[in-house]
Amino acid sequence: MSLGPRPYRGSAVVGNLDYLMDFDEKPDRLAARLRKLADVVLNPYGSQLHLSMDDYYRKSSILGISPKLIELIHRLFSYLNVNYAIIGGIAATYHARPRMTKDLDVTVDESIIAVQDKLKDPEFMMKFGFGAIKSTISRHRFHIKSEDYGLVEAVPAVTPMLKAALKDAMARSAQPGAYPVVSPKYFILLKVDAFKNSPARFDKDAFDAASTVMRKKVDIDALIDQYPNFARELKKIKTIVELKAK
C-alpha cells in the first residue's frame, strides 16, 4: 500500500538555500525561503508521517534498507561491548518523517578503536554477517558492509556533541531488546551542527530538525537558551516552526 507522496528531496522542493547563512542581513528573503520550507514540513506523509521502529520494520522496503541490518550491527556491537547509537536517516524516520536511505548511520564509542583488529578479521566478521573492514579506525568514519543487507557508516563519538548524544541514547535504551536511537533533542542538535559547518546541507537538515520539533513537541526556546553556540541556527528552525503554525 502506498504511503502517499514521495518523501521530501531537499533542494528539489525548496531550491538552493545556501545564502540563508546571512541570517541577520536578509530577513525578508529569509522569511520567504523559510516559508517555502515550512510549507512542506510534515506535509509529504500527512498523519502517517511518523513511524515507530515497529512500523519501520513493516515498511522497510519503502525506506531503503533491511531491518536485518540493524539486528546484525546490534549483535556485533553488543558482543564487542561497544556502545553505539543510531543517527542519520533511520533516526529521521523514527523522530520526524519517512526517509529513503541507502545505509545505516551510527555513532560508536571510542572503545571501538581497541577492538578494530576483530573488525579486520574476515572469519570473525563472517559470524556476524559482515565483511572485514579495510581501513584503520581513528577519529574518522568507517564502513562495515553486509553483502546481503547493506552498508553501515560508523562515526566514532569523538566530539562533545556526539559523546553526549551517545551517552543519552544508551541511558534511554536500557530496557531489553531496545535499539539505541539518538534522542529528539540530540537529533536536532546534530542537524544544526551539520548545517552550521556545511551550509549546503541546510535545506535537508533544517527540514529534519523542524519536523522533529513539531512531531516531538520539543521546546526550541529551551534549546536556544541551553546551547548559545547554536542559537543562530536554532532560531532558523524556530522560524520554520512558527511559519508552519500560522
Residue 116: which CATH number? 3.30.460
Tell how far CA 77 is from the center of its chain. Answer: 19
Instruction: Answer whether residue 15 is part of any domain.
Output: no
Same domain, 154 and 210: no
**Which domain, by its residues, includes 210?**
23-47+184-245
Cα–Cα distance, 105 to 107 (Å, whole number): 7
Phi, psi of 210 (to 5 degrees): -65, -40
Cα–Cα distance, 101 to 62 (Å, whole number): 10
Instruction: Answer whether residue 9 is part of any domain.
Output: no
> What pLDDT is stored for residue 193 in this prediction?
95
Instruction: Answer whether residue 198 is part of any domain.
Output: yes
Q: Percent of the chain at pLDDT above 70? A: 71
Reply yes or no on whether the pLDDT at 10 is more than 80.
Answer: no
What are the residues whose beta carbons fall under 8 Å from the beta carbon of 159, sequence distance 6 or more?
Answer: none
Same domain, 139 and 192: no
Cα angle 107-93-101, degrees, rounded to a multiple of 5: 70
Q: CB–CB of 75/60 below 8 Å?
A: no
> What pLDDT is stored for residue 35 in this prediction?
67
Which of these three, 121, 151, 172, is where a domain ends?
A: 172
Same domain, 75 and 37: no
Reply yes or no on whether the pLDDT at 41 is more than 60.
Answer: no
> What pLDDT is stored for residue 242 in this prediction?
86
Instruction: Answer whether residue 12 is part of any domain.
Output: no
> What pLDDT is stored for residue 38 in this prediction?
63
Same domain, 91 and 32: no
Reply yes or no on whether the pLDDT at 106 is more than 80.
Answer: yes
Q: How many domains does the chain have?
A: 2
C-alpha distances (whole Å) from 66 to each of 72, 103, 230 are 10, 9, 34
Q: CB–CB of 182/85 below 8 Å?
A: yes
Identify which has the larger pLDDT, 62 or 186: 186
Joined grid coordinates for residue 220: 526550541
For 153-208, the pLDDT digits (tens) are 999 999 999 999 999 998 877 665 678 999 999 999 999 999 999 988 888 899 89
For residue 15, the tally of other CB atoms under 10 A from its CB is 12
First to last CA, the chain: 32
How many Cα neighbours within 13 Å face the side chain of 115?
18
Which of these three, 172, 204, 227, is where a domain ends?
A: 172
Mean per-residue pLDDT for 91-107? 83
Q: CB–CB of 237/220 below 8 Å?
A: yes
For 233-243, the pLDDT digits (tens) are 999 999 888 88
Phi, psi of 65 (to 5 degrees): -125, 160
Instruction: Answer whether residue 39 is part of any domain.
Output: yes
Same domain, 150 and 205: no
Q: Which residue has the cell 540563508?
A: 20
Instruction: Answer whether residue 18 is part of any domain.
Output: no
The DSSP element (H or E) to which 119 belongs, if any, is helix 116-119
Q: What is the mean pLDDT of the chain?
A: 78
Phi, psi of 242 (to 5 degrees): -65, -40
Same domain, 140 and 238: no
